[in-house]
Structure 1
Amino acid sequence: MKKITTNKITPEKVSKYFDVTGRAIKKVKIVSKMPADFCADKSADKDKCFDSRKWKLAAEDFLNMAKCYYEDAKHFEKKGDVVNAFACLNYAHGWLDAGARLGLFDVDGDNVLFTVDEKK
């Protein structure tokens, strides 16, 4: 049987992720209008499509969730709980990535901080 090696969550690793996620939060710009082609299916139930108001509310909610998890990470770090701090930072960045991929956020094609394609 192979020996399983696990990496440790170090304070240095947590610090790095605070930096990356903090920069990502600052970079995000909310896209206030839903892209015209988001619900282009003419046969789709229009009540199930987002209008621009709902689009903006969803974007604000995604960003708020990211910020809340970022603040939770600070709380855990202060308590010396690097495992939960690291987990919260990953959740925060997950919300940011999801928002960027859905088009809720304009991240200027930054594929270093976000999992998006480069801006063309």
Structure 2
Amino acid sequence: MTKKEIVKTISDKHQLTQLKTKEIVQSTFEAIIETLVEEHRIELRNFGVFEVKKRAARKARNPRTGERVDVAEKYVVTFKPGKEMEERVLRLEQEEAARAAQGLPPAYVPPVESNGDAPMGSEPSDTDL
């Protein structure tokens, strides 16, 4: 789901204009980011906890060349889902298992995960930088 789809869903549900809803959603995201930058943690009850953590420097390997490279320490944002979210996802997992037991196809097929590398021969775009 994209931010645009979130805006449409909320504006339809609450009879608000999409423009006003977009401002509210964007302000919410900005408040989350600002809190993470200033306080390094934000807890949203029944949703989860976002936290800024420092990832230590490490050695890695370039998958294309096999060459060892040094990766500097950096800050990363982590997310730990809240209890309600965990329970709902667990129910989804149980429902999918029940569908499989009945010989039904899955209701949701997740996209293939990417390791973030661009395909061979492609150059990064401005949005990748």
Rg comparison, structure with higher value: 2
Relative to total residues, which structure has the larger helix share, 1 or 2? 1
Where is the strand percentage greater, Structure 1 or Structure 2?
2
Q: TM-score, normalised by structure 2?
A: 0.28
TM-score normalised over the length of structure 1: 0.30
